[in-house]
Structure 1
Amino acid sequence: MTEPTTAAADQDFPPDVVIADTVRWLEKAVIGLNLCPFAKGVHTKGQIHYVVSEATDAEGVAEDLHRELEALAEANPEKRDTTLLILPQALLDFLDFNDFLEIADAMVEELDLGGILQVASFHPQFQFEGTEVDDVTNCTNRSPYPTLHLLREDSIDKAVEAFPEAETIYERNMEVLEKIGIEGWLDLDVGPRCPVTGHGAAKGV
């Protein structure tokens, strides 16, 4: 794991706790349920860069995203393959977060990084269009905190080559979540962890 980047984060969201929450979600949900077959390799090799943003609004997030896109583009892929920009204090409303993704995509193009990098997203309130809030399939894209995932296009292409049935991942993930149900998801305990009690929010503090 690379060293986290953080400014003077609010005491309610200690960077080490935020990163620990995110790593736990990655290990128990994303890798544990095999929601992304490509995640284990970069995690095991320590090629994921975790950044805890101190931003509290979209403008601050945009500044952090601009910096991290440029940093990832310049970094050695062997040392930093991907970046998770974690937003514990910003874009907490899913609709606001969803709207920001247009800004993120536009920024990639403005930096001439189209075809080189892309931005994926995860959110605690993620909801697919046409689903109910408590539909367990929404959990495929739910993370402890709003998170922007900065990826290299080359890495995606290589991963798809190694996993020729990549287009089936989405359907498989839906089946996995439906099988374990919402209780099974909550039992994973991958929500934000209270820094005082150490309990996960998903299980109740």
Structure 2
Amino acid sequence: MSQSLAKPTAEEVLVATQKWLENAVIGLNLCPFAKAVYVKNQVRIVVSEAKHLDAFLEDLDRELLHLAEVDPQETDTTLLIHPTLLADFLTFNDVVAIAEEAVDEHGLEGKIQVANFHPDYQFDGTELEDLSNYTNRSPYPTLHLIRESSIEKAAEAFPDPAVIFDRNIALMEALGRSGCEAVLRGEKVDLPKGF
């Protein structure tokens, strides 16, 4: 994704992420569970301004502990974003692995999971430009901290998550490259027929 060379402000990152959530994740129903918590203001969005990886990992520790301790009615899920530190997707993947280890280190295995989104997200076994990758692309590198209890509730409504994944890939292919890029920019895109 082409972003300006100037480092975005925390407010710009927040606005871009909210637009992406509203117009893509919720608007295109990429995640059928997102709307309920978003409209109740239960999604915490944190923009890290850490200058180096150690400081970012401290932000991650704080957010894991916050999510573990706060009432789910106040915060159901957290998005931890850093606009520049994790721009390289391979470096980001390494940080995702560290984040998963941090969940275990805090004794939160079985309570919190880490999902991830990135502007250059690439599923294993795909080419960078494959449209399927857009299902996990976001305006900025994002760690999504999710309560296991929320995942369990979602699984009751959608016992086969592969249906969602397959539908999202088909949707990205139907939108085409220009539609996928618009989704990534957080623009409002109409659902193609059949979706």
- Indicate whether the TM-score tops 0.5: yes
Gaps of at least 5 residues in structure 1 are 1-10, 192-205
The yes-or-no answer on 1:114 pairing with 2:109 is yes
Query: Is contact 2:80–2:142 with CA below 8 Å preserved after alignment?
Result: yes
4+ runs deviating over 4 angstroms: none
Q: In structure 1, what is the equivalent of residue 3 of structure 2?
A: none
- Give the number of aligned pairs: 182
Deviation at 1:176, TM superposition (A): 0.6
Is the CA contact (8 Å cut-off) linking 1:57 and 1:91 kept in structure 2?
no
Share of identical aligned residues, percent? 53
Q: 1:178 to 1:60 in 2, by over 3 A?
A: same
Aligned residues of 1:47 and 1:81 also touching (Cα < 8 A): yes
Greater relative CO, 1 or 2 (CA 8 Å, sep 6+): 2
1:82 aligns with 2:77: yes
Per-residue CA distance 1:38-88 (angstroms, 9 max, x = gap): 111111111000101012332222111001000111101001000000111
Cα distance in 2 for partners of 1:126, 1:174 equals 14
> Counterpart in 2 of 1:196?
none
Equivalent residue for 2:54? 59
* Deviation larger for 50-59 or 172-181: 50-59
Report the secondary structure of 1:176's partner residue.
helix
Candidates 157, 171, 174, aligned match of 1:162: 157
- Residue 127 of structure 2 is matched in structure 1 by 132
Q: How many angstroms apart in 1 are the aligned matches of 2:142 and 2:184?
A: 18
Return 67-76 or 162-171, whichever deviates more.
Answer: 162-171
Question: Any idea what SS the aligned residue of 2:166 has?
Answer: helix
8 Å Cα contact 1:108-1:118 kept in structure 2: yes
Residue number in structure 2 paired with 1:23: 18
Aligned residue number for residue 203 of structure 1: none
The structural deviation recorded for 1:137 is 1.0
Deviation at 1:20, TM superposition (A): 0.6
Q: Does 2:81 correspond to 1:92?
A: no
Alpha-carbon distance between aligned partners in 2 of 1:72 and 1:60, rounded to the nearest angstrom: 18
Which ranges in structure 2 are unaligned for 5 or more consecutive residues? 1-5, 187-195
